[in-house]
Amino acid sequence: MERAKHTVYLDHAATTAVDPRVVEAMLPYWKEHYGNASSIYGLGRDAHRALDQARQKAADILNCAPKEIIFTSCGSESDNLALRGVAFERQKRLKKNHIITSPIEHHAIVHTVEQLEKYFGFEVSTVPVNHFGMVDPADVERAIRPDTAIISIMFANNEVGTVQPIAQIGEIARAHKIPFHTDAVQAGGAIALDVKAENVDLLSLSAHKFYGPKGVGLLYARRGVPLLPTQTGGGHEYSRRAGTENVPYIVGLATALELATQEMKASNARIIQLRDRLISGVLEGIPESQLTGHPTQRLPNNASFLFRYIEGESILLNLDLAGVAASSGSACTSGSLEPSHVLSAMGFSHEVAHGSLRLSLGKENTMEEIEYVLEILPGIVEKLRQMSPLRTPA
């Protein structure tokens, strides 16, 4: 087996390289148009114009008004602003103390909800997911109480790629007049997001998942949805998020979102072809392997697996030696012995959940790279299984 001459990057769910066209669009806002967007002289007005244009672009793509877009520093901030902003406001004004969420959210939601519960007097209902990681909208409806402050269910899962029935959940939330937030960080750039069609009141995005820069995100907050700013100071972002706007990054986000939207159809068609070859190749070539996440309602770029008897982390190290960058849902990678909360919520035992591998594809991947992975992965899995104390010899 020959080592790949370059890194075969299959971790696009973690982050993406910045598209050179995005870099090009950002550069002038460091070099020539470096003004503070709040300043009244020419340089400031240039920056402010760029900000307005970026806001308009994002709003056009998401099908909302520009004033409903709040630029943030990342997806985690957008999630925090949505949850805390709505929960605190409705708690104070209406005595609403209840939050509904799912057990497979990103930690930006999970840990925020935990904190709201532990320190701020909220009660939390976590609706179940099935074996594919899918939420049943009927369960969301059943969890609604008179004091529900907010519902937050992610659009698409970062580990297993399952895409939720967001429009249906949104319809239920709206019928009960409860603000509905969706963390669409993984869906951004991969799925056409229309906030009206999806019936969402708040939606989080992060640029670095769709070939934009790291450290910039946005929150769509529907007009009329009460939102207490979590970061106070100046009147930036229509007084909903204080802090001098990072104009180059915001321009980068809007450009990346525009390119991803324009190229989505063609890009997804290519990526799905690669993904499906990868999935069938792995399942056919490796015994006791299985796909995780929903078989059809999944992100175009997500191929995630479980391999019995072995640790995801060991697979990653071996893949790295062979020049392949991938990820595991197993939290062992972050120094904890706990398996992925996502796989556990989907009903996989700890032992099984430890053997997870996520391969997330992107627009620069080629069929040659996929064939290379299919050539090396069975050998890596077999080698690790031979050393595994969990496997009883045949």
Query: Does residue 64 carry a catalytic annotation?
Result: no
Q: What is the DSSP letter of 83?
A: H
Q: Is 74 in the site for ligand PLP (CB under 6 A)?
A: yes
Task: Tell me how far, at minimum, the Cβ of 178 lies from ligand PLP, in Å.
Answer: 21
Q: Which is nearer to ligand PLP, 99 or 384 (CB)?
A: 99
Structure tokens at 226: 């009460």
Compute the Cα dihedral for 23, 24, 26, 27 and give only its sign: positive
Task: Tell me how far, at minimum, the Cβ of 153 lies from ligand PLP, in Å.
Answer: 11
DSSP string, 272-316: HHHHHHHHHHHHHHSTTEEE-S-SSSB-TTEEEEEETTS-HHHHH
Q: How many residues does the chain have?
A: 394
Task: Tell me how far, at minimum, the Cβ of 154 lies from ligand PLP, in Å.
Answer: 6
Task: Tell me how far, at minimum, the Cβ of 184 lies from ligand PLP, in Å.
Answer: 8
Query: For residues 392 and 394, what is the distance between their CA atoms, to the nearest angstrom?
Result: 6
Query: For residues 137 and 89, what is the distance between their CA atoms, to the nearest angstrom?
Result: 25
- H helices of the chain, in order, are 20-26, 28-31, 42-62, 75-94, 107-120, 137-143, 166-175, 236-239, 247-285, 312-321, 341-345, 350-353, 367-387
Q: Which is nearer to ligand PLP, 104 or 251 (CB)?
A: 104
Per CB under 6 A, the list member of 186, 289, 327, 328 interacting with ligand PLP is 186
Looking at 25, 332, 343, 381, which residue is catalytic?
Answer: 332
Among residues 296, 93, 277, the alpha carbon closest in space to that of 179 is found at 93
Q: Which is nearer to ligand PLP, 89 or 159 (CB)?
A: 159
* Footprint of ligand PLP on 288-327 (CB under 6 A): none
3-class secondary-structure state, position 82: helix
Task: Tell me how far, at minimum, the Cβ of 30 lies from ligand PLP, in Å.
Answer: 21
Residues binding ligand PLP: number (CB under 6 A): 13
Interface pattern 139-178 for ligand PLP (x via CB under 6 A): ---------------x---x--------------------
Per CB under 6 A, the list member of 35, 75, 188, 300 interacting with ligand PLP is 75
Q: Is 72 in the site for ligand PLP (CB under 6 A)?
A: no
Strand partners, 358: 304, 327
Q: Which is nearer to ligand PLP, 215 or 285 (CB)?
A: 215
Query: For residues 280 and 277, what is the distance between their CA atoms, to the nearest angstrom?
Result: 5
Q: Is 250 in the site for ligand PLP (CB under 6 A)?
A: no
3-class secondary-structure state, position 163: strand
Task: Tell me how far, at minimum, the Cβ of 181 lies from ligand PLP, in Å.
Answer: 12
Interface pattern 35-64 for ligand PLP (x via CB under 6 A): ------------------------------
Task: Tell me how far, at minimum, the Cβ of 72 lies from ligand PLP, in Å.
Answer: 9
Q: Is 189 in the site for ligand PLP (CB under 6 A)?
A: no
3-class secondary-structure state, position 178: coil
3-class secondary-structure state, position 204: strand
Q: Which is nearer to ligand PLP, 76 or 97 (CB)?
A: 76
Binding site residues, ligand PLP, CB under 6 A = 74-76, 79, 106, 108, 154, 158, 183, 185-186, 206, 217
Any idea which residues carry the catalytic annotation?
A: 332
